[in-house]
Amino acid sequence: MDKLLIEGGARLNGTICASGAKNAALPILCSALLSAEPLRLTNLPQLQDVRTTQRLLRELGAEVEADAETGTATITAATLTTHTAPYELVKTMRASILVLGPLLARSGEARVSLPGGCAIGARPVDIHLEGLRAMGAEVIVEGGFIHARASRLKGTRFFMDTVTVTGTENLMMAATLAEGTTVLENAAREPEIADLAACLNAMGARISGAGTATITVEGVDALHGADHRVLPDRIEIGTFLVAGAMTRGQVTVRGAGSGLLDAVLRKLEQAGATVMVDDDAISLDMAGRRPQAVDVHTAPFPGFPTDMQAQFMAMNCIAEGVGTVVETVFENRFMHALELQRLGADIRVEGNTAIVRGREQLQGAPVMATDLRASAGLVLAGLVADRHTLVDRIYHLDRGYERLEEKFRDLGAHVQRVTRAPQEAA
């Protein structure tokens, strides 16, 4: 199993390009199921989760021509051969639930394995199911599968009790082919939802308000083919900027877009960074200064993203002062705290709050990745720890970061992928 070996101490300096957003790519790939005509995508990140989604679409009968080199794919779901998303695929990627809405809307029936729990909490899908029921579907959960049926979904007004990203996406996709108008209230406002809506509208859907808490979808009879470019990955961008801040360096991310990560940039400025944003790039400069500890409180967009929480906890571990990290989105997302303690971090966890007292120096050690963003936090800590840090189970990282170690190396970090632990890090 691959591991990442990091030799800490290098100050990051340089420019990298942002990849396409995983969390936009996955729902957009699934939206291809809504049309019999080809959906042509560019700026697709080459990630395990993207490959898993493409496999799932093929399994359902879609033709997928993907070119990993150029980050393009054409998906044609001319006919669907099955309406079942099997457990073997869904268990490897919770986002597989995103085929539920499109499958049901397109073929009148969907059987999708229940995703089950995951390392960062229970993550139920009750709101996805309630929303589909409100649109007239018959939905039962049996034998570990969600089984939904509706000859044609009907537009409705639906208030979501909890702000859910994939829930909003599933219902928005389903509503495109419903009879009449659907209004989704208390919808998630993440930029990836607006990107999905842009793609669906290019396919002939009639969606307004995506990116706000109220989304209106006027159902149409069919969607057609389209071309769409996936938006940049704000979590990847944020991760590299935090790496720049932690190493007291200077990092520019090109192709970053603006307005995608304001809450994160504000926190980096509070930490002492000079941040410059223009149309195409975000630059961060620490001018050799040690970061100041910052308080972080995760919340749905436009609040501070839970997917950046582990990275900021890592920064607080070596910052000047004490920083408090409050996780409000997921109930069990502090597993990286224990691993950071193995590197010498001073972290006290009380419920959903972690109090982090910055240390001058962390010490390299073998650590274990537990989920995608937790792994990113460990890699960042490794960049500033002395000697070597060996991060195990990096298949989590490969699910969400494209060419991670290459990009870090481009910035001057000493990071390499290994299959066996060298003596000094074992």
Inter-helix orientation angle 100-107/165-175, to 10°: 10
425 scored as a contact of ligand UD1 (CB under 6 A): no
283 scored as a contact of ligand UD1 (CB under 6 A): no
Rule CB under 6 A: choose which of 83, 106, 111, 128 binds ligand UD1: 128
Q: How far apart are CA 162 and CA 121, in angstroms?
A: 15
Per CB under 6 A, the segment of 126-134, 140-148, 289-297, 404-412 that binds ligand UD1 is 126-134
* CB of residue 357 to ligand UD1, shortest distance in Å: 26
Residues involved in catalysis? 118
Rule CB under 6 A: choose which of 19, 164, 176, 252 binds ligand UD1: 164
* CB of residue 388 to ligand UD1, shortest distance in Å: 29
Nearer to ligand UD1, 164 or 252 (CB): 164
415 scored as a contact of ligand UD1 (CB under 6 A): no
Q: In which element (H, E) is residue 7 found?
A: strand 3-7
Give the DSSP letter of residue 20: B
303 scored as a contact of ligand UD1 (CB under 6 A): no
170 scored as a contact of ligand UD1 (CB under 6 A): no
DSSP 83-143: -EE-HHHHTT-GGGGGGHHHHHHHHSEEEEE----BTTB----HHHHHHHHHTT-EEEEET
Exposed/middle/buried for 94, CB within 10 Å: 0-12, 13-18, 19+? middle
* CB of residue 263 to ligand UD1, shortest distance in Å: 12
Q: Which of residues 171-200 bind ligand UD1 (CB under 6 A)?
A: 188
A 10 A CB-CB count for 39 gives 26
Q: How far apart are CA 162 and CA 127, in angstroms?
A: 8
Rule CB under 6 A: choose which of 57, 125, 200, 384 binds ligand UD1: 125
Exposed/middle/buried for 402, CB within 10 Å: 0-12, 13-18, 19+? buried
**Could you tell me how far CA 426 lies from the centroid of its own chain?**
31
Q: How far apart are CA 410 and CA 86, in angstroms?
A: 39
- Tokens 């990745």 belong to 369
Per CB under 6 A, the segment of 158-166, 210-218, 349-357, 387-395 that binds ligand UD1 is 158-166
90 scored as a contact of ligand UD1 (CB under 6 A): no
* CB of residue 192 to ligand UD1, shortest distance in Å: 6
- The token pair that represents 124 in the structure block: 């139920």
* CB of residue 282 to ligand UD1, shortest distance in Å: 20
Per CB under 6 A, the segment of 149-157, 161-169, 202-210, 412-420 that binds ligand UD1 is 161-169
Rule CB under 6 A: choose which of 65, 126, 185, 280 binds ligand UD1: 126
Which residues form the interface with ligand UD1 (CB under 6 A)?
23, 26, 94-95, 121-128, 162, 164-167, 188, 306-307, 329-330
